[in-house]
Amino acid sequence: MRSEFDFIQNLKNKYGLSKVGDDCAVLSKDDQTDMVVTADMLVEDIDFRLDWTTPELIGSKALSVSLSDIAAMGANPVFAMISLGVPESCWKTQFVDKFYDGWFTVARHYDVELIGGDLSRTPDKIVIDSTVIGHIAKGKAILRSGAKPGDSIYVTGELGGASAGLMLLESGFRYGKSNQRKKQLISRQLRPTPQVVTGKQLSALGLATAMIDLSDGVSSDLLHICKMSSVGARIYFENIPVNSNLAEFSLNAEQQAGLALSGGEDFELLFTADEKKISQANFQGVTRIGEITASLGIIEVVHHNGVSSLTPKGFRHF
């Protein structure tokens, strides 16, 4: 079966869509400013389950995943729209009110204004489409296409937590009845933190040559950068910053790093940059996990016992 990535690539080629293919489309606003815009669809029982989370957390995550795309451009989020479809049974409950409560909690934190959207009925499942518009200084948006051989590869924060949280939920664990480590992992899955501040710092300082947010997993998302930049990458497996709560599981270090490499929804940033510049700027909170190579589309993973090539195992809808 064709993947959604192949489908979108074909669509780009067929219709000549030059603005499609990054975390956000970049449009010219005025002489000083560019506008970036992104849309994300979240569907009940595909992207969230009502018995795993709360209406407030669904609302907050709906905005956060789009803010993460804005962050991946280095932009400042400004406006948002939310389209929400719910079945009539859900409309009669407090779901929609609580959803917006959660949504506005995040919106206020990032000073994002709701400017529109839609409210619709669905036959039986909840559907959300989240749109966010951001602003960034002219020409400063960080694309996926700017990585060059020799650039170092960095990630923010720790990886694998959201994926482990999903595993816990799938295994029947729930936030309320879990220990502290499990709570933190489940929270990584249900309440992601978009790296808006770090994204803006990286663009303001001109440090990142390419950037993407980690929604599908390092293995999948790094491949997007490699394809768009016509480069390859080498990852040092031992350098991957593994979420410390993964110690909760009976996994060896290799298994933990594997989860961190393939697990999606951490919503951290992955970016490429000149190592010297990052060092000179004393940029905090990021980990160097590898470097960009000239081996087009090939991602090598260096383990303590050798080198293997990486097969993307991140999240795919199709």
Least distance to its own copies, CB of residue 197, Å = 24
Report the chain's terminal Cα–Cα distance, integer Å: 7
Tell me the C-alpha distance between 259 and 245, whole Å: 12
Tell me the C-alpha distance between 10 and 288, whole Å: 33
Tell me which DSSP letter residue 48 carries: B
Q: Which of 9, 54, 83, 239 binds its own copies (CB under 8 A)?
A: 83
Tell me the C-alpha distance between 310 and 219, whole Å: 7
Closer residue to its own copies, CB minimum distance, 221 or 291: 221
Residues 6+ away with beta carbon under 8 Å from 201: 207, 283
* Residue of 148, 90, 146 lying closest to 119 (CA atoms): 90
Q: Does 30 bind its own copies (CB under 8 A)?
A: yes
Q: Which amino acid makes up residue 25?
A: A
Secondary structure (DSSP) of 87-128: -HHHHTTTHHHHHHHHHHHHHHHTTPEEEEEEEEE-SSS-EE
Stretch that binds its own copies, among 82-90, 182-190, 282-290, 300-308 (CB under 8 A): 82-90
Closer residue to its own copies, CB minimum distance, 29 or 148: 29
Ranges within 34-63 binding its own copies (CB under 8 A): 37-47
Stretch that binds its own copies, among 27-35, 176-184, 188-196, 243-251 (CB under 8 A): 27-35
Q: Which of 9, 13, 27, 290 binds its own copies (CB under 8 A)?
A: 27
* Residue of 235, 260, 258 lying closest to 245 (CA atoms): 260
Q: Does 296 bind its own copies (CB under 8 A)?
A: no
Ranges within 114-143 binding its own copies (CB under 8 A): 114-125, 127, 129, 131, 133
Least distance to its own copies, CB of residue 153, Å = 25
Q: Is 277 exposed, middle or buried (0-12, 13-18, 19+ CB in 10 A)?
A: middle
Tell me the C-alpha distance between 300 and 303, whole Å: 10
Total residues at interface with its own copies (CB under 8 A): 56
Binding mask 211-250 for its own copies (x = CB under 8 A): ----------------------------------------
Least distance to its own copies, CB of residue 92, Å = 7
Cβ 72 vs Cβ 156: under 8 Å: no
| C-alpha torsion sign, points 210, 158, 285, 102 | positive
Least distance to its own copies, CB of residue 136, Å = 15
Tell me the C-alpha distance between 216 and 314, whole Å: 5
Closer residue to its own copies, CB minimum distance, 135 or 148: 135
Closer residue to its own copies, CB minimum distance, 40 or 221: 40
Least distance to its own copies, CB of residue 26, Å = 9
Stretch that binds its own copies, among 15-23, 142-150, 232-240, 289-297 (CB under 8 A): 15-23
- Phi-psi bin for 258: left (phi > 0), alpha (psi -120 to 50), beta? alpha
Closer residue to its own copies, CB minimum distance, 27 or 296: 27
Which residues bind to its own copies, rule: CB under 8 A? 1, 4, 7-8, 11, 15, 17, 19-20, 24-25, 27, 29-31, 37-47, 79, 81, 83-85, 88, 91-92, 96, 100, 104, 113-125, 127, 129, 131, 133, 317-318
